[in-house]
Every structure is written in structure tokens, then in C-alpha cells.
Structure 1
């Protein structure tokens, strides 16, 4: 039997193929890569190769079955679900996890991540529309027979050989591809959009097209300035913590979602969802650090973050960040508030929704078919590894 290809290599191949596809679909993404490459080269000409290839993407799924199969597909790529993100309190009717590598060796090989959201059909206020959404989603199949067969083969055989890995990358790529033909008519699309434009994006199309792909920069403020200088319609503010000497968690910005031509059962129309995002990563916070961050974030005083130490010795002494060998451990995950902010800021004109406190991690994990991994446990293990 031919030797299996390491999941790290399949993941790297898939991330590169996805980036190439998205570059062709959204030309502005190529501009972002150019800006990021230039800024990173100026900040640190000797930056690790990981920085240059690092990407995270985002997809939105409609059903528990789609989520469970996506988890199996990502497992072939060496990616596991880390963390639970409830976006309903921010007015977005989804809950999410981050599929990513979990070991240091795998992250160093290729840190590709996907922020994967599942529609909360229960949060659709119109009962008749809830039934229609369930019926529409039940009719679609987001994975090809080829992709399904290769997932089963990988699970049965403990991996894929070189030919199987190439075939799997090509087959899985189709799940993430943009399709300009909607699967619903214009009237149904309007009903979905009236509930929430994210619901229309999830339900009205053949599959979970990648809605953004995010390179990593070493100076997001410089990138933001260059985006504006080039006339790119960037967000007004950078999501996440303010600029600091010792960066923490995650800062991100984006250009606003594109309005694209689509066809609704033969009728021309428009859809707005896909955008371009850039991130800068800092130190992973401990539970104590995260509690302080969340408290300061909720403070309306713009000077509140002055209370968060910006000195490495103080951060370590107060137990606010994870470190190893006196170096901060990089944050590999996402911010619920920033995630929701990016969602909302790219849906211009979307009125705020109030879904209340409806967190449902247990329901999400049931759909997923397993518990999500606690990110704090991963960082704590890294901090104690020699």
C-alpha cells in the first residue's frame, strides 16, 4: 500500500489552492497580499516563512449534517475544532468554532485555520420561513461524491496516498467555490434577507463559498493606512485591542463586502457577502488576562485599556499572558467580539438584531459530533512544555 501523505502537507496544499482560487474570484484579495507582503518585508525581512503563508478563512454552514461532515473533511487536513463562539448576543444568528492544527509542530508546518459557523435556524422569528429554510437546506449537498469517498477512504486507511491527497484537495475546493447562480428565487431571497442578510448568504446558494481569506501582517496599522491610500474601501476602525508595544490576542481589519451579480431562478440580482480581511496576532491571554481584557473592552472610556499592562515583565508577573522561555506564546484563535464585529461591519445597512442570551454550546457540539477543544488548555500545555 502506498505511504500516506502527512495531513500537514495536505493542509498546506489545500490552503495554497484555496488562496489561488480566491485570488481569481476576488481580485482585491491579490491587492491585500501585495500590501501585506510589502509591510512585512519592511518590518522584519527575516520573518519566518510561516508568516508569509499564514491564512485563515471563514465559511458558514446551514445544517448539523453539513457541520459534522465538514469536521470529518478538516480532520483529513489535520484540523480540529477549537473553542466555541456564540455570535447571537452580537446580533448574528450563528454559533461557531475554529478548525485548526493543535500541535506546535503542525502549526509551524502550516497554521491554516477556518472559522466555521453554523446557522441557528431556531433564531429565525418567522415559523413559516424556518420551515422553508430547513427544506431548502435539506435539498442541497455541499460535498461531491468524490470528496465524500475520499473522506471515507482516509478514515478507513488512516490517510491518503499522493494521488488521493491531490484528488481530495481538488474535490474539497469545489465546496468552497463561489457560485453566482442562487438556488432560490428572488422573492425567497428577499424573505431570507429581511430576517438577516447572513441567513440569505447561508441558505440561498449551492454551498458555503469562502467569504473571506485572511493573510497575517506584522503591522496592521501600516496595512490599514496603505489600503486607504490605494483607495480600497477599508473599515473605519481596526477590530480588537488598541495598538500596543506587546501585542495581545488579535487585531483585524478588512475591506467592505463586495456587491456581486447573481441569478435568482433566471432573474438578475445582487448579493453582498464576500470581503477581504487582514490580521495581526499577539500574545495568548490566560483566563485572568482574558477576564481583564473583556472587562476593559466593555468599558466605554476609550482610555480604559491603559489599565492593561504593556510591559512584558508585568504581563508575565501578573499572569496575564502565556509564555515559554520568556517569549509570549502566539494567540492562534479568534475573538468573539471581533468576529461579530467583522460580520456586522461588512453588512452595511443591516439593522441590529436582539437574539438575547441564547448560547447553545451543547447543541453545537451535538451537531459537530464531538466536544470542541478548550483553547486555554492548549496554551497552558505549550507554556509547560520544555
Structure 2
């Protein structure tokens, strides 16, 4: 028998994303309405600005999802599963500083080629039990979590096989995708009784979501829009209740980083375990929602510092504000942040890919020319590198807006990241380094072609 060729991790990731999106549309019909709205808005923008830098083949398939895990062993296994899909942990996010008892990383592709094939990413949070102030409740939650297994047996078997043999054939990869969906499905039967659920929720709603159910059920998927302000306005018109404000930077000619909004979490019926076997009580749970994102340029550390200092000046959103007022306020405060790509590049605030203009003649390149000269002559052009990651404040804002009121517990310490990396079995990659490498490689190619000089 001739051995079947391995399916590329990029193809497995693409298949999984498509299957996950279909599943979530069935479970949360409002998400399908949201995707249609985003597609409608994107079509309008594409027709009016066909050369807009964000437009590309990946736009219609772009999604990110989010899950919340309960134990380090769950994180270990999910990391192995995502690795088979060509997704690796990038960025460390300590959300405890915003009163959320988790820390997070994003599993995503890391190379230009893989990102262009399919940029799907999963923002993955892990519960930090040490942040639960009630010791008795903490122990109860830990005992619940240690007893559950969120993975289908076939997932473990196929991940083992992929690791031992170096990949999976088409049949096995399809089985992996199908069985992996079980981890992300919604289960309306809680693992706990209503009293325990209420106690968890009172301490922090996220505890009830993480520890109260059979699995981590994906809590949102996120299509990418080219005009998030238009989507925010149109959501209510289409019967999709939006959150109050768009998270992240203001609207700009040169978009930066990440802007996000969402519709409010759904109230869904659940069955709680009763005091006796077979007994159940009816209740409800809020966790799953639909998010929309608009992605801009990846900023350098210098650019991030400027962004954060301006956001600090803006202060926190207050309930008396509305989105239009908030965006107007942000736009005024962000006036020191240049809004042309050339100025942003000159001030080293963002990362860019350097490419040769196809219509340019290399005969026009003077020996020893500087890269700036070639840019001014139009021989070389720059394209902003899309920000593929997340903003801690925005992530926390989305969490908070869909969890409701709760006690806020924060912590300081440096060991949490080390513990997460130990569970992951690898170090978490720094996204600044990934963007810098993409920019550097593009400059090297230009230098080799033109012989130009770079500072």
C-alpha cells in the first residue's frame, strides 16, 4: 500500500477554522448575521478603495476565536493540538491587572507564508486559581477541573501519531478536525449544581464559565472588517445589540494595531445538576458573544509606548459617554501620533515590508543610494505589516463587558509566565521579534537587488 502524503498544517488549520465557523453559526445564529453584516461592509469598502492596503485574499477567511481553559494539563494538550495545525504561542497577556483571574497567549501561525495561507488564531486563556480569594471555593473548583477531560480520545491518539510520524494524512487530518470540534462545542448541562454555580459567579463570572461546564466551549469568533465604525453603527439597525464603545485606537487614515467591538453575550438556558442522580434544575448562563475586529499596522516598541501613553491620557471610558464622543476624544488626544505612512516609518513607530515597485527600472538606482532615496523615487515601496496579535486592555474590555459586575482581584509577580511556558512546553514568542524579522528580511532582499544602504 502506498503511504498517503501528509496534509500541511496550514491546510489542517484552514479546515478547522471553516468547521469551527460553521459550528458556531449553528449554535449562535446571531453570529451568522454578524458575518453577513461584516461582508456587506467589506464589499462597500473594497469597491470604493480597491487599492486599500488591508485588502487581500485572506480577508474573507480571517477569524480569531477565544477559549478559556481551567488547568495547566488542558493547556499542555491544546498546545500540542494547535501545533499540528501550525499554530504556536505568541505574546503573553496578564489580564489579572484588569481584574480578570487569567493569563493568556495567542496560538497563531508565525511565518509570512503561513499567515498568507490562513491567518486563523485562537486567544487562549488559562485560569489562575491562586487569584481566587475564597480558599474553599478554590479547592472545590480545582477538584472539579481535575476530574474532567475536555478532549475526545481520538484527538489524543491523532496528535500522538502526528508527533511520532511527522504529520497526518488526509483521512486522519479530517478525523482530527471533527474530533477537535468536540472540545469547542457548547454543552448546556452544567457539571455543578445551581448553588455552586452561583457561588462561582458571585466571586467572578469567569469562574462559572471555566469550571461549571464539560468543556471550554469557544466563547466567540471574530470576522475582520475594513470599517468597524460602520459595523458599530449598523449592528443595532440589524437587531444585533452592540457593546457601548469600540476598544482600541481611534479611527485613522493609517490604521494601527487593533480595534474591536462585539455584540453582548447571549443569555442561554442551562441545566444544573441536582442533589440526586437524574435531578436537574433550569437556569441560564451568559458567556458567548460575537466580536468584530479591524486590524492595522504592527507597531514597534517605540510606537507601542506612544500608543500606551496617549491611551493613558484618554483615561477610562465612563458610562455617561457614547461611542461617538469617545472616538472624538481619542482622535484629539492621538494628534501627536503621525497619520501618514511615511512619517510613521521615519519615526520608527511601525513595521513595514519593503518591496521593489514592479514598474521601476533598476537602471535608475545610483550606486550607494540610501533606502530613503529609493523610496522617494518610487523604486521601492513600503506596505505596513498587519498586526496579528492582541491588546491586553482591549481583551480585558471585551471580557468585562460580557461578564458583568464582579469582585476585582489583581496580583503582581513574574512567575506566572514561567509556569505557563512550562505547561506549554515551549517559550512564548515575542511578537515584536517576529515583526522585526519580517521587516529585516524584506530589507535584506532590497539591499541584495539594489545595492542600497540602510541605516
State the TM-score, normalizing by the size of structure 2.
Answer: 0.83
Instruction: Choose which of 427, 430, 439 in structure 2 pairs with 1:374.
Output: 430
The structural deviation recorded for 1:357 is: 2.9
Number of corresponding residues? 385
Tell me, in whole angstroms, the C-alpha distance in 1 between the residues paired with 2:336 and 2:194: 51
* Structure 2 residue 254 is matched with structure 1 residue 225: no
**Which residue of structure 1 lines up, in the alignment, with residue 350 of structure 2?**
321
8 Å CA contact 1:88, 1:358 repeated in 2:
no
Tell me, in whole angstroms, the C-alpha distance in 2 between the residues paired with 1:131 and 1:87: 22
**Which residue of structure 2 lines up, in the alignment, with residue 25 of structure 1?**
27
The structural deviation recorded for 1:278 is: 0.4
**Which residue of structure 2 lines up, in the alignment, with residue 35 of structure 1?**
37
Q: Could you report, residue by residue, the CA deviation over 1:349-370 in whole angstroms, capped at 9, with x for unpaired residues?
A: x135131434521122122221
**Which residue of structure 2 lines up, in the alignment, with residue 292 of structure 1?**
306
8 Å CA contact 1:89, 1:358 repeated in 2:
no
State the TM-score, normalizing by the size of structure 1.
Answer: 0.98
Tell me, in whole angstroms, the C-alpha distance in 1 between the residues paired with 2:300 and 2:159: 36
Segments ≥4 residues shifted beyond 6 Å: none
8 Å CA contact 1:57, 1:211 repeated in 2:
yes
**Which residue of structure 2 lines up, in the alignment, with residue 281 of structure 1?**
295
**Larger displacement relative to structure 2 (15-24 or 226-235):** 226-235
8 Å CA contact 2:205, 2:406 repeated in 1:
no
1:1-386 residue pairs with structure 2 within 5 A?
Answer: 1-45=3-47, 47-265=55-273, 266-300=280-314, 302=329, 303-325=332-354, 326-348=382-404, 350-351=405-406, 353-358=408-413, 360-386=416-442
Q: Which 5+ residue runs of structure 2 have no aligned equivalent?
A: 274-279, 316-328, 355-381, 443-455
RMSD: 1.1
Name the SS for the 2:428 alignment partner.
coil
Q: Could you report, residue by residue, the CA deviation over 1:174-229 in whole angstroms, capped at 9, with x for unpaired residues?
A: 10000000011111101111110001100000111000000001110111111022
Classify 1:238/1:352 alpha carbon distance in 2 versus 1 (closer, same or farther; 3 Å).
Answer: farther
**Which residue of structure 1 lines up, in the alignment, with residue 371 of structure 2?**
none
Tell me, in whole angstroms, the C-alpha distance in 2 between the residues paired with 1:358 and 1:123: 12
Q: Which 5+ residue runs of structure 1 have no aligned equivalent?
A: none
Name the SS for the 1:385 alignment partner.
helix
Q: Could you report, residue by residue, the CA deviation over 1:61-119 in whole angstroms, capped at 9, with x for unpaired residues?
A: 00000001000000010000001000001010000000000001101111000000000
